[in-house]
A and B are shown apart, each in its own frame.
Chain A
Amino acid sequence: MKMIVAIIRPERLDAVEESLRAVLDEGDNFRLTVDGVEGHGRQSGEVEYFRGHPVHVRTVGRTRITLCVNDAYVEPAISAIIAGARTGSQGAVGDGKIFVLPMDDVVRIRTGERGSAAI
């Protein structure tokens, strides 16, 4: 079992969800948590204007998605996120990053199921 955390452009969330659904959805809905985050990577913020004065914004807004999958689904999920989140044919600085983390256990609160069955 792995936890996959990805930081993506907010405007690519729909595309990422669509491509994830194609590989993860097995008749019921696939599981995804979405939140808004701010930060910066190699790309160093954006420039906005305030009454004609350029203002350098230190952080940019991004969307963070978190999903937990069994081992067989890790690579398909990564490929799906890349396919949905990459902009242009070559991708661009600021497209985001995917983190894959080991996960010890999962508990479904409703039934008390553990591990792979609960994911």
Chain B
Amino acid sequence: MPTPTLTIDSGSTAWMLASSALVLLMVPGLALFYGGMVRRKNVLSTMMMSFVAMAVIGVQWVVVGYALAFGTSMGGWIGWDTALVGLHGLAPTKLFGDKGIPELVFVMFQGKFAIITPALISGAVAERVKFRSFVAFTALWVTLVYCPLAHWVWASDGWLFKQGVLDFAGGTVVHISAGVSALVLAWMVGPRRDVTRGAAILPNNLVLTLTGAGLLWFGWFGFNAGSAVAVESPVAGTSAGLAFATTQAAAASAGLTWMLVERLRHGKVTSLGLASGIVAGLVAITPAAGHVQPWAALIMGALSSLVCFAAVQWKGRLGYDDSLDAFGVHGVGGILGAVLTGVFCFTPVAGLLAGETAQIGKQVLGVVVAIVFAGGMSWVIGAAVRATMGLRASEEEERDGLDLHVHGERGYHFDSL
């Protein structure tokens, strides 16, 4: 162990400030990614479900979220510090652990993760969920699912952390939990009326989707390379560099693989396919970013595209309507990435490839816990919201578009006067 830094480290602080801003940029990136894929009548509604997390969780995190996730541990299950409620007892001069960064910077960095995670879920229920019910679900879900899970996996006293589960930047906490919850919620809300009727549903603007995918890739460097904060001091060091390189390699390899799969299956390379592949690769490398070599990231990205592509094809047969494939990409890619982390990891422990079987068992434990906990709790929260507020927009709202009925606006006016 290096001697704990007692003074502020300017390089680390600068990198964590930048990373925090990069992760926040992923939220509008996700809003564009999702917003382009829905029909014109629901573009604002879909983008709002991502944007609203910045407002709602942005408040929740300061009030209680950080205290629950990173306060003093109560038996490894949940954090709590009365001084952290509203961050009122957190002095700006207080440094975070041995990292040489102000704790407030760490609070903000982690807060952006809590914001984007429920936004990921919105893709599964786009075009028919009731807006205020989704907002209520978001606030409850982050408080009751995200905060405990983040504590278990990332807090130094968390019980899964102590078991040795590796989750560098949120494969388990963010992507599996969001993906599985998305599947549960999509199933509870039911399929869109036009899916039931068999009508064609086509994206309104893939230009937005590609722009969003680009912003996600850019922001993901903060998401992954910023997550070096958990394992190294100073923070902007070799782990951050490794995570940066593996993030780039996995996204590129996954985008290329999805293109090739589409070329072989349909003879054409679609723009949505390339965008989807990029995201699938970024998801899969998230738990592994600071634990594997760049060549392993190439393999993980390629495998993620193959598996996510297959998952997305099967959804029709399984009969649930995950509108924008939040489960098919984030859930499936997250599970694959978390398990493969136990295969390819070389630091701080060796994985299956080096003949060490122990880590893969720990990774599977983390995956199973995340699936059961997030899935079960999402069902409970979803049922409570359904009983009190209803989950689904009215038939008329869904037919005419949520933008006009729920938000009183249309996304586009340039084709009519």
Q: Which residues of A contact B (CB under 8 A)?
A: 48-58
Contacts and interface: CB of A to CB of B under 8 A. Distances in A.
B202 A53 contact: no
Contacts of B325: 51
Interface in B187-219: 199-203
Size range of the chain B interface in the assembly: 10 to 19
A54 to B, nearest CB: 8
B309 interface: yes
Per DSSP, are chain B's interface residues mostly helix, strand or loop, or mixed?
A: helix
Interface string B258-283: 00011001101010110010000000
B313 A52 contact: yes
B242 interface: no
A48 B202 contact: yes
Contacts of B313: 52-53
A57 B200 contact: yes
Contact of A50 (B199, B268, B272, B309): B272
B262 A52 contact: yes
A56 B200 contact: yes
Contacts of A53: 312-313, 316
B312 A52 contact: yes
Contact of B270 (A49, A56, A57, A58): A49
Nearest to B324: A51
Interface string B310-331: 0011001000000001000000
B262 A55 contact: no
Contact of A51 (B199, B200, B268, B276): B276
A57 B273 CA distance: 18
B275 to A, nearest CB: 10
B309 A55 contact: no
Nearest to B270: A49
B273 A51 contact: yes
Interface in B242-270: 261-262, 265-266, 268, 270
A48 B201 CA distance: 10
A53 B312 CA distance: 9
Interface in B285-330: 309, 312-313, 316, 325
A34 to B, nearest CB: 14
9 contacts: A48-B202, A49-B268, A50-B201, A51-B276, A52-B261, A52-B309, A52-B313, A53-B316, A55-B202
A49 B266 contact: yes
Given A49-B266, A49-B268, A55 B273 contact: no
Given A49-B266, A52-B265, A52-B312, A57 B276 contact: no
A93 B225 CA distance: 55
Contact of B201 (A49, A52, A54, A55): A55
Contacts of B200: 55-58
Contacts of A58: 199-200
From B200, B270, B276, B312, name the one whose CB has the most chain A CB atoms within 10 angstroms: B200
B273 A52 contact: yes
B201 A51 contact: no
A57 B261 CA distance: 23
Contact of B272 (A51, A54, A56): A51
A55 to B, nearest CB: 5
Contacts of B202: 48, 50, 55, 57
A56 B198 CA distance: 10
A7 B173 CA distance: 54
Contacts of B199: 58
Contacts of A51: 272-273, 276, 309, 312, 325
B123 to A, nearest CB: 12
A78 to B, nearest CB: 30
A51 B313 CA distance: 8
Q: Nearest 8 CB-CB pairs, A to B? A: A51-B312, A55-B200, A49-B270, A52-B313, A57-B200, A56-B200, A58-B200, A51-B276
A33 to B, nearest CB: 16
Instruction: Give the one of A49, A54, A56 with max B CB within 10 A.
Output: A49
A40 to B, nearest CB: 12
Contacts of B262: 49, 52
A88 B313 CA distance: 36
B314 to A, nearest CB: 11
Nearest to B312: A51
A51 B273 CA distance: 6
Contacts of A56: 200
Nearest to A57: B200
A50 B268 CA distance: 12
Nearest to A58: B200
A119 to B, nearest CB: 26
Contacts of A50: 201-203, 272
A58 B313 CA distance: 22
